[in-house]
Amino acid sequence: MNDDEPQPGALLRALLALPVGERAGRVRAGGDVAAQLTTLVDEVMNLTSTDATAAIDAAEAVTKLAEDLDDPLTASRAQHARARALSYVGRFDDALAACRNATVIATRHGHTVEAGRAQLASMHALGELGRNDEAIAAGEQARALFESVDADDFAARADINLGIVHLRRDQPDLALDYLDRARPRLEHEPELLGHIENSRGEALVAVNDFAAAEDAFLSALAAFEEAGSTLTAAIAESNLADLASRQGRLDRALYFFEGARRHFERVGSPAHLARLLAEQAEAKGVLGLPEDALEDYQSALIQLDQCGLALESARARCSMGLVLLRLARPVEAETALAAAATAFDELGHVTARATVDLVRAELALQNARLPEARRMATRALAAVADRPADAATARHLLARIGLAEGDTETAEADLTAALAAARRLDLAPLLADILDTRGRVYRRRGELGRAIADLTRSLQAVERVRGALQADRFRAAFLGQRTQTHEALFESILDHEGERGTAEAFAVAEQAKSRSLLDQVHAGLAVTAPHGADATTTALEQEWQQCQAALNALYSRLGDHHAFEADEAWTAAVRAQERALEAAEARLAARGRSPVTLGTRATLTEVQAGLGPNATVIEYFVTGDALTIFVVDRDGATVTRHAASVDAVMAALHRLQFQIDRALRPGALVGARAGQLRDDARRALGALYDQLVRPIEGRLRATRASRNHRTLTIVPHGPLHLVPFAALWNGEQHLVEDFDVHAVPSASLLLHLQRDQRPVTGTPLLVAVADEQAPRIDEEATRLAKLLRLPRSRLLRGAEATRERLRTLAPTASLLHLAVHGRFLTNAPAGSGLRLSDGWLNAREVARLPLDADFVTLSGCETGLNRVDAGDELLGLQRSFLAAGAKTLLVSLWRVDDEQTARFMDRLYSGCHDWLGTPGARVTHVAATQRALIANDLHPAIWAAFTLVGRP
């Protein structure tokens, strides 16, 4: 470009830089006043596509200039430009006023085309306000004006606007007729063709022609980007996001949502941003994040209502009603649905009104009002019968109603019809739902082979969606909501195959356990703060850091170990900051396009091949209230079904926790009562043994006697993650007296850890922070440093033990021993942490440490506690250290006394150079330590808190 060539917008910028009183004189002095005014209006129009807020003031300035220069045509055009900008920022009533001004000026001075253009501009605002009849009247009037002066191009523009309004009136076929009539007349104007293609895409989505809709949106996006129209490009991108969400292509939806959001934030378009937020909330609902979705709906509705966007507000309320239903808030759901139904009726939008009936039918089904549910779902199906995706959704609901009524034949027919549409349109989440329901129909009828086939295909569809999601949290949530599918498939396999189905059932159990953690460990790195170069990414990184700092401040307010009480206000503040931080993480991940690295679930054969010659895996799996137990070794596998009631296990676990709390009271284990307390604890441990080990005791003893199987790897499920398995009491001895016991979140994770045969490098690191509550920590550190033969630089004690020093030195540690206070926060597990000299290091920060430690000891309190979320995902310090790269952890399940802990660690680390780094030796040495303390007749509260997790 020639340096002397004027830059885009240069004249407008120069004009606005002058005082108002000097502007007319400057234009007159510049010669050809008409040409300059035309350029100014064109520059305002261009500005509306990149900075609508700035364009509003610029248009008013040009209007005033035109009046001063006595140029009514320019004044009318400037008001038209102002109306366009006002519409873009959601000020639709103000936009209509500007259109009226433009029309009056143009008509008064005989400018027919400009009067028609102003009428066209009013259609956008009228349509957004739900005044569709008025919008159509304005469009037809404008079209007549254009035809009266043979302005065919402008008549075609009228057709575009009329098509858009008919689309809003739920007449997509008529909309396509108008848009297709406009297209040939505007082939010479790429940006207008972009508008046509964007609107055609919306109409094609409405008739469920998703493939053609995607082509149309992509064409529109390319045209807008070529024209440099940022705002309209963002609109096209948001439409691609909404389409992908409807198709269940959630990774693609999130990618486009984030791209559009960045554009809308940049140009300042609150109305479009609110619409986008509501559409994104719908995707979050499908992902299995209803609380996140509800927050987005509530935020979006404030702006949608302020802007008067009647149709978008109604759609958001309808979808929010479904989310509220899933959150078990039916009264609020009905309030939202009633408001949506009224709005759709006023707008005359029949198919959107049908979606309200479907959600209300869902509510009636939940409350067992089956005739009402069937009536509303049938009415909805009639309204959307010609739209295959919507009809498939309605038929799926009717099938679920039929299943509740016991009419499996009708249910199967509805499901088969719905399945055909879902497959043809490749709607993976809907496909998963339909196959799941049909599998249950077959299971109800005893057709287990067909049930297994459908339930398997349902989970395959789930895995296809899950595998493409970039954010770990989204993958966990999406799989976590499919727990019932895993359970139904698991039970169907064993009902159908019996012992012959052991391997297949084992694979299903593994598919349902800690998959997100497995992905993190498999990827070889934990969640880090992403980084990028563009301004939005940088701002999101800063927001992420600010949220983390705010969370740290909130966590630190809790004070010292067990000297705090987390009130409701604190919990709400923490949750708000966590949601903001998670939102920033998700937005940063959404624009990532790198292949997702996923861990592979282990087969039974692979687990068997990876076991040592003396090792046995005991894997538990919960289905409803029933507990199933697998016993696996190199030579075979058995499955024991209905081994115990989960409710009974929970009751026994609560009794044990009560006994542990009794023993930990100051002075409780001193004197004559110590023996009684020990016996009470053993009774509670005996009840757990009877439910968790007694059903498989014969198998364990046989392998112990015949093949000297000594190591037990426990794979818990659900509430069993809280059980101290080594301490379970058979009436004569604890389990650890017969076996070396350790735990792992899943057998797949065990296999991954065992396959990591990299040599152990680095040197041990010991971190110790003592205080008046735990003065023996210093002594523990001194003795362990000697046992480990540590150089002074690898012992961080007291004031030296800062978070930054730990972050610096931990990555090079082969062994990491943290003798510090720990705490577990049930309501905020990411805030669980370790107290260093300068504050708490929380679980979220731990997960970002690039560890390569072969063995990590967390000798503080409650470091092994977890909150178990859907999908058996563990949240707490244990997960964070495994995700960060630790191979084996020694953690505590309850509060521990520093003097007893010091004794435990002294005995454990004696001769440590003989067992550190040796496969299988860690669990043997931990078990030997526990047996030595048992020999001293100590209460289990003293020695059973510590449990080994990970590689044995």
Distance, in Å, from the CA atom of 621 to the CA atom of 614, rounded to the nearest integer, reads 23
Kindly list the strands in the beta sheet with 833-836, ordered across the sheet, starting from the edge strand earlier in the chain: 821-823, 833-836, 839-842
Residue with tokens 């009905």: 334
pLDDT exceeds cutoff 80 at 539 = no
Token pair recorded at residue 380: 């909805």
Q: What angle do CA 886, 462, 381 make, to 5 degrees?
A: 150
Residue 761 has pLDDT above 90, yes or no: no
Q: How confident is the model at residue 647 (pLDDT cuts 50, 70, 90)?
A: very high
Give the contacts of 663 (CB within 8 A, at least 6 positions apart).
Answer: 669, 677, 678, 681, 939, 940, 941, 942
Cα gap 62→80, rounded to integer Å: 11
Distance of alpha carbon 538 from alpha carbon 541, whole angstroms: 5
Q: Which of 175-184, 592-601, 868-877, 899-908 has the lowest mean pLDDT?
A: 592-601
Q: What are the tens digits of pLDDT across the range 250-299?
A: 989 998 998 899 888 887 788 899 999 999 999 999 999 999 999 999 99
pTM score, two decimals?
Answer: 0.85
| CATH fold for the domain made of 604-752 | Nucleotidyltransferase; domain 5 (3.30.420)
C-alpha pair distances (Å), 567 with each of 421, 573, 787, 827, 908: 50, 10, 43, 11, 39
Where helices occur in 446-565 by DSSP H, the ranges are 448-466, 472-480, 483-497, 502-511, 515-523, 535-556
Confidence of residue 558 (pLDDT cuts 50, 70, 90): low
* Least-confidence region, from 30-44, 327-341, 419-433, 564-578: 564-578
Tokens of 311: 């149709």
End-to-end CA distance of the chain: 69
Which tokens in the block code for residue 295? 């927050």
What value, to the nearest 5°, has the Cα angle with vertex 906 and ends 904 and 912? 110
Do residues 644 and 689 touch, judged by C-beta distance below 8 A? no
CA atoms 816, 819, 821, 825: torsion sign: positive
Task: Determine which helix (DSSP H) or strand (DSSP E) holds 835, and give its type and residue range.
Answer: strand 833-836
* Predicted pLDDT at 786: 87
Do domains 1-130+137-146 and 758-950 share one topology? The answer is no
Average pLDDT over residues 106-130: 91
Q: Mean pLDDT, the chain, as a whole number? A: 90
Residue with the two structure tokens 């997100």? 516
CATH 3.40.50.1460 matches 758-950: yes
| pLDDT confidence of residue 525 | 43
Of 456, 455, 430, residue with least CA distance to 444 = 455
Q: Rounded mean pLDDT of 79-89?
A: 90
**Any bridge partners for residue 740, and if so which?**
711
Q: Does the pLDDT of residue 564 top 80, yes or no?
A: no
CA gap 288, 484 in Å, rounded: 14
- Three-state SS across 256-298? HHHHHHHHHHHHCCHHHHHHHHHHHHHHHHHHCCHHHHHHHHH
pLDDT tens profile 770-803: 888 888 888 888 888 888 888 877 899 999 999 9
CB within 8 Å of 547: residues ≥ 6 apart? 577, 578, 580, 581, 584
Q: Give the Cα separation of 6 and 18 in Å (integer).
A: 18
Q: Which helix (H) or strand (E) holds 617?
A: strand 615-623
As given in the structure block, the two tokens for residue 197 are: 């293609």
Whether the pLDDT of residue 562 is over 50: the answer is no
* No. of helices (H) and no. of strands (E), the chain: 43, 16
Q: What average pLDDT does this structure show over 148-162?
A: 93
Return d(Cα 606, Cα 119) in angstroms, integer: 71
Handedness of CA 778, 783, 787, 793 (dihedral sign): positive
The DSSP 8-state label assigned to residue 728 in this structure reads -
List the single range of 175-184, 506-515, 586-595, 852-861 with lowest mean pLDDT. 586-595
Q: What is the mean pLDDT of residues 624-651?
A: 96
Provide the residue ranges of all domains of the chain, joining segments of one domain with +: 1-130+137-146, 604-752, 758-950
CATH placement of domain 1-130+137-146? 1.25.40.10
3-state SS class at 817: strand
> Left (φ > 0), alpha (ψ -120 to 50) or beta: where does 851 sit?
beta
pLDDT of residue 345: 94
Residue 714 has phi, psi (to 5 degrees) of: -95, 125
pLDDT of residue 533: 56
CB crowding 207-244: b at 16 or more within 10 Å, else e: bbbbeebbebbebbbebbeebebbbbbbbbbbbbbbbb
Q: Are 421 and 433 within 8 A, CB to CB?
A: no
